[in-house]
């Protein structure tokens, strides 16, 4: 069973072992890189299977300050990583499917969550769509690896 949990920003040990395939790092970064960044408005979270961390993501409470398509009551989903050994097992899809209720409980003052996903990453796009994210039709042209789709998921509140 896949579950989501908060993660302390000062202790990478629960997720330090998580690594994606090398060709995926430009899209999502590394655990060490995320912990090295100074982003006060970002909260860290872990994805667990059977009590063991198998993934990681950040929730950006100030996403609207970085992206003009988001509003002040919108969260941003960033840095999603599923360990290479877990990929292809439905872990990412299950984690994203659990995201709506998890975020609604953890961030009750927010109404939606946005993300940008590289146009050349069809596996991630499919997982996000299955989880309930909707392509807004917007394109974020400034991605590190090229243009990105803008996707949104409403949070019940």
Residue labelled with tokens 């941003």: 76
Q: Determine the pLDDT at residue 44.
A: 98
DSSP result, 93-157: HHHHHHHHHHHHHH-TT--EEEEEEETT-HHHHHHHHHTT-EEEEEEETT-TTS-EEEEEEE---
What are the pLDDT digits (tens) for 66-80? 999 999 999 999 999
Which pLDDT band holds residue 39 (cuts at 50, 70, 90)? very high
Task: Tell me the pTM.
Answer: 0.95
The answer to whether 81 and 36 have CB atoms below 8 angstroms apart is no
Helix (H, G, I), strand (E, B) or coil at 52: strand
What are the pLDDT digits (tens) for 6-18? 999 999 999 999 9
Opening angle at CA 35, ends 11 and 52, nearest 5? 50
Tell whether the torsion through CA atoms of 74, 80, 86 and 92 is positive or negative: positive
Question: Which strands, in side-by-side order, build the sheet including 74-82?
Answer: 2-7, 42-49, 52-60, 74-82, 112-118, 148-154, 134-140
- For residue 112, what are its two tokens? 């939606």
Which pLDDT band holds residue 118 (cuts at 50, 70, 90)? very high
Q: Determine the pLDDT at residue 156.
A: 87
Model confidence at 111: pLDDT above 90: yes
Q: Determine the pLDDT at residue 143.
A: 85
Q: Which domains does the chain have, with CATH numbers?
A: 2-154 (3.40.630.30)
List the helix and strand counts (H, then E) for the chain: 5, 7
């Amino acid at each position: 069973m896949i579950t989501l949990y908060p993660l302390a920003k000062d202790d990478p040990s629960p997720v330090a072992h998580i690594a994606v395939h090398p060709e995926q790092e430009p899209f999502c970064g590394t655990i060490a890189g995320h912990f090295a960044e100074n982003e006060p408005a970002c909260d860290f979270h872990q994805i667990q299977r059977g009590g063991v961390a198998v993934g990681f993501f950040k929730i950006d409470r100030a996403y609207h300050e970085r992206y003009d398509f988001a509003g002040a009551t919108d969260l941003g989903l960033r840095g999603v990583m599923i360990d290479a050994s877990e990929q292809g097992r439905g872990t990412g899809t299950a984690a994203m499917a659990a995201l709506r209720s998890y975020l609604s409980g953890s961030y009750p003052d927010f109404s939606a969550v946005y993300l940008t996903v590289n146009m050349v990453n069809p596996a991630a796009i499919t997982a996000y769509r299955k989880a309930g994210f909707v392509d807004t039709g917007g394109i974020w042209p400034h991605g590190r690896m090229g243009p990105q789709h803008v996707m949104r998921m409403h949070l019940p509140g």
